[in-house]
């Protein structure tokens, strides 16, 4: 019997050419299909977000705040703030004389952030590419693990540059895909194969972002947006899944594309997928099977 696909964030493949967009659809970028896909993904994983993979998001947020170094009295903007992990830590640093604002397009994440942060931290439903702030407003902009997910990363960096004062700082973290493990390569190849056979269409943002986390690529992106003195550092953590089922559960929280494909697998298809994954992993040998990395590049720069 056919297995049903129920993922609300995924669209059916279009069999007829799409009609020209109506006025609501040309509103940019929150009305795009990709933005809706992201919103649905974060809606699904919000509750597990902070503790996913032994709390890697908490550790990344703490490191980003270290890199940004907000000082008492400063005004900080966190772009793609998610559940507010960076904002919470930053608000302790800037204190009551400072100000912290988080912006994001995922309403459920913003809700979590607003509920647990002190009232002086504000959260706004605003896209990174069209900030609603005046020029030269902030002392610090942070962007944690958000750049490759944005509809227009270069435009978002230019917006960050616009709202920062001259001499102010930006701190960004991005996953460095070049440092992932052989087990992740095996999984990605299987996932690509699954996508080719799946009726689910995964919306993707324009352009190739696969190399954004490589230090020289990230530094170039920041320099192109007008930042100087760019310094990069690396943080690598990782672990090993106990087997294929744990691996699939874990990777469902690793990003919108893998979630869209894996969350709709019916039991039979999932069993077959896990059997193939196990076979390919075991072929890697006991050291490499089911091993994953979370390699993140941190970049800091000064607004000229
Ligand atoms: C991997 S999460 C990182 C969240 C948070 N910065 C952290 O460190 O935990 C990426 C975030 O970027 C947000 N995002 C994606 N596209 C966006 C856009 N165009 N404008 C603002 N936020 C966006 C997502 O909704 C999500 O909260």
Are 213 and 236 contacting, i.e. CB atoms less than 8 angstroms apart? no
CB 248 within 8 A of CB 262: yes
Q: Does a cis peptide bond (omega within 30 degrees of 0) precede residue 29?
A: yes
Ligand 1 lined by 110 (C-beta under 6 Å): no
What pLDDT, on a 0 to 100 scale, did the predictor assign at position 6? 25
pLDDT band at 11 (very low <50, low <70, confident <90, very high): very low
Confidence of residue 206 (pLDDT cuts 50, 70, 90): confident
Pocket test for ligand 1, best of 82, 109, 143, 160 (most atoms within 8 A of CB): 82
In short, whether 61's Cβ falls inside 6 Å of ligand 1 is yes
The CATH number given to 27-178+203-240+293-303 is: 3.40.50.150
State which of 149, 207, 253 you would mutate to test the pocket of ligand 1, scoring each by most atoms of that ligand within 8 A of its C-beta.
Answer: 149
**pLDDT for 16 beyond 60:** no
Would the CB of 38 count as within 6 Å of ligand 1?
A: yes
- Dist. CA 195–CA 256, nearest whole Å: 13
46 pocket-lining for ligand 1 (C-beta < 6 Å)? no
Ligand 1 site, residue 82, Cβ cutoff 6 A: yes
What predicted TM-score, i.e. pTM, was given to this entire model? 0.89
Q: How far is the CA of 239 from the centre of ligand 1 (A)?
A: 24
For the segment 76-100, the average pLDDT, to the nearest whole number, is 98
Rounded-to-integer distance, Cα 128 and Cα 113, Å: 17
- Rounded to the nearest 10 degrees, the angle between the axes of helix 33-49 and helix 52-68 is 100
What integer pLDDT is reported at residue 26 of this predicted model?
Answer: 42
Sign of the four-CA dihedral 247, 149, 79, 184: positive
Question: Looking at the predicted structure, is the pLDDT value of residue 75 above 60?
Answer: yes
pLDDT of residue 34: 86
Mutation to probe ligand 1, out of 104, 111, 125, 172 (largest number of atoms < 8 A from CB): 104
Weakest-pLDDT range from 7-11, 55-59, 113-117: 7-11
For a substitution probing ligand 1, which of 55, 146, 156, 258 has the most ligand atoms within 8 Å of its CB? 146
Residue 175 tokens, joined: 């996953």
Tell me which residue has tokens 């009295």: 73
> Is the beta carbon of 241 within 6 A of some atom in ligand 1?
no
Cβ–ligand 1 distance for 251 under 6 Å, the answer no
The pLDDT tens digits for 230-280 are 999 999 999 999 999 999 999 999 999 999 999 999 999 999 999 999 999
- What is the 121 CA–ligand 1 centroid distance (Å)? 17
Q: Check pocket membership of 80 for ligand 1, CB cut-off 6 A.
A: yes
Task: Name the band, by pLDDT with cuts 50, 70 and 90, for residue 31.
Answer: low
pLDDT of 21 over the 80 cut: no
- Overall average pLDDT of the 56-76 stretch: 98
The pLDDT of residue 167 is: 98
Q: What average pLDDT does range 58-67 have in this prediction?
A: 98
Percent of the chain with pLDDT over 70: 90
End-to-end CA distance of the chain: 62
């Amino acid at each position: 019997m056919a297995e049903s696909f129920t993922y609300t964030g995924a669209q059916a493949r279009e069999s007829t050419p799409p009609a020209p967009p109506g006025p609501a659809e040309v509103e940019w970028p929150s009305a795009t299909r990709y933005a809706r896909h992201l919103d649905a993904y974060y809606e699904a994983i919000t509750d597990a977000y902070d503790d996913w993979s032994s709390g890697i998001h908490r550790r990344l947020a703490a490191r980003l705040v270290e890199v940004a170094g907000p000082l008492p009295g400063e005004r900080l903007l966190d772009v793609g703030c998610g559940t507010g992990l960076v904002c919470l830590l930053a608000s302790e640093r800037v204190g009551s004389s400072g100000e912290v604002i988080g912006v994001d397009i995922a309403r459920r994440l913003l809700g979590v952030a607003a509920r647990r942060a002190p009232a002086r931290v504000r959260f706004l439903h605003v896209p990174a590419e069209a900030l609603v702030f005046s020029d030269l407003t902030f002392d610090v902009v942070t962007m944690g693990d958000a750049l490759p997910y944005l509809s227009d990363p270069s435009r978002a960096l230019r917006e960050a540059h616009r709202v920062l004062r001259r001499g102010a700082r930006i701190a960004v973290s991005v996953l460095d895909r070049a440092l992932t493990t052989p087990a992740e390569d095996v999984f990605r190849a299987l996932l690509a194969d699954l996508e080719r056979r799946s009726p689910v269409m995964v919306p993707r943002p324009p352009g190739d972002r696969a190399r954004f986390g490589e230090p020289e690529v990230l530094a170039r992106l920041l320099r192109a947006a007008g930042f100087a003195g760019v310094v990069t550092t690396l943080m690598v953590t990782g672990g090993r899944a106990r087997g294929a089922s744990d691996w699939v559960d874990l990777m469902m929280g690793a990003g919108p594309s893998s979630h869209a494909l894996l969350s709709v697998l019916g039991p039979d298809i999932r069993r077959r997928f896990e059997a193939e994954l196990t076979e390919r992993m075991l072929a890697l040998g006991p050291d490499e099977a089911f091993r994953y990395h979370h390699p993140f590049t941190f970049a800091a720069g000064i607004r000229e």
